[in-house]
């Protein structure tokens, strides 16, 4: 039986990725541990990218009006 992929918790993955980056930047890891952490970071990055892509697709579906996709610019909050 094929395993069903569990939905990615974006915030958790992003937090884990930040911790990995901090460990790598500390310079205290051995080469082997650094490579392992880097591999984990690549996997977490892919998970985050997938979650963001899925969120973008959901937003596009919600913005769709009268069968036509309308693209609207999001300027975000003023800084």
Asked whether the beta carbons of 45 and 4 are under 8 A apart, the reply is no
Nearest to 47 by CA among 25, 21, 23, 16: 16
pLDDT (mean) for 2-15: 70
Q: How far apart are CA 39 and CA 30, in angstroms?
A: 14
More confident residue, 53 or 63: 53
Model-level pTM greater than 0.85? no
Alpha-helix residue ranges (DSSP H) falling in the chain: 10-26, 31-63
17-43, pLDDT tens digit by residue? 999 999 999 999 999 999 999 999 999
Q: Say what the pLDDT of residue 34 is.
A: 95
User: Using an 8 Å Cβ cutoff, are 66 and 24 in contact?
Assistant: no
Q: What are the structural domains, with CATH classification, of the chain? A: 10-66 (1.10.287.1040)
């Amino acid at each position: 039986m094929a395993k069903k992929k569990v939905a990615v918790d974006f915030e958790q993955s992003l937090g884990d990725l930040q911790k990995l980056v901090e460990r790598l930047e500390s310079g205290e890891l051995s080469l082997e541990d650094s490579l392992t952490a880097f591999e984990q970071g690549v996997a977490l990055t892919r998970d985050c990218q997938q979650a963001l892509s899925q969120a973008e697709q959901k937003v596009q579906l919600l913005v769709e009006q009268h069968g036509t996709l309308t693209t609207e610019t999001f300027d975000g909050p003023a800084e």
